[in-house]
Amino acid sequence: MRNYNNLSIEHIHNYNIDIKNREIYLHSSMYSEEDSGVDFRSAVVLHKNLRYLNNMCYDPIIIHMHIPGGEWCDCMSMYDAIRLSPSPIAIIVYSRAESSGSIILQAADLRIMMPNAYTLIHYGSTFVDGDHKVAVSNLQWSQAEASKMVDIFTDKMMDSPLVKEKKWRRVNAKKHILSQLDNKADWILSPHESINYGFADGVFGSEEFSSVEDIRKYLQKNY
């Protein structure tokens, strides 16, 4: 008979999943020679693992996320999979939630940042190739997706301490986000700044979220 602890370690390192504790590890593909970030490989592994755990039961799921930005379409596939999961999901951010990673974070029911992690928000890069009509079509799609990104952050910002303090309406919050993106190539936020803007919910190690078990209990109580 196989030792379960050894089997668990095998799943964690080979398949990015701890089945017993319902935890998923989201990072760049280990089969890439560089930090490839969000791509079809990291997305497909997440889809499979979420599907597997959701087929077992609807208890909380914890995602440990350590991933830079990457492909937008793969990012949005992860965003949809997390947001539409019947099991409540918490994401714990290690190192940074950059670019596409900052979008994925917004899909979770609970968003926790490590004390020294940061959020980086910016417009993605667009590469246009082909004839004139193809180029115009690609640019139009890119503009629509950029608006979608701004709307995601605006929606999250509406329940933030900053909006409540300023008594902003949605149009004011969106205008502020657009101004930050226009004035800064990379809009970088500390954990507490992320919380103030409504882009995160807590810091790991704080009194409320001192452990993974605290995060799990929070999800069980509130979702």
d(CA 54, CA 156): 25
Residue 78 lies in a domain: yes
Residue 142 lies in a domain: no
pLDDT above 60 (res 50) = yes
Confidence band, pLDDT 50/70/90 cuts, at residue 31:
low
Residue 49 lies in a domain: yes
Which one, of 215, 173, 221, lies nearest residue 21 by Cα?
Answer: 215
Residue 149 lies in a domain: no
Residue 99 lies in a domain: yes
What is the tally of structural domains in the chain?
1
Instruction: Evaluate whether 107 touches 78 at the Cβ level (below 8 Å).
Output: yes
Q: Report the C-alpha dihedral over residues 166, 171, 174, 180, rounded to 10 degrees.
A: -60
Mean pLDDT value across residues 48-57: 97
Residue 89 lies in a domain: yes
In angstroms, the Cα distances linking 109 to 3, 163, 222 are 34, 20, 10
Which one, of 123, 132, 136, 111, lies nearest residue 199 by Cα?
Answer: 111
pLDDT tens digits along 103-151 = 999 999 999 999 999 999 998 766 667 777 877 888 888 889 999 999 9
- 12-16, 88-92, 219-223: range with lowest mean pLDDT: 12-16
User: Residue 79: which domain range?
Assistant: 4-122+185-222
Q: Look up the CATH number of the domain holding residue 77.
A: 3.90.226.10
For residue 24, give both structure tokens: 């998923």
Instruction: Give pTM, 2 decimals.
Output: 0.91
Residue 48 lies in a domain: yes
Residue 66 lies in a domain: yes
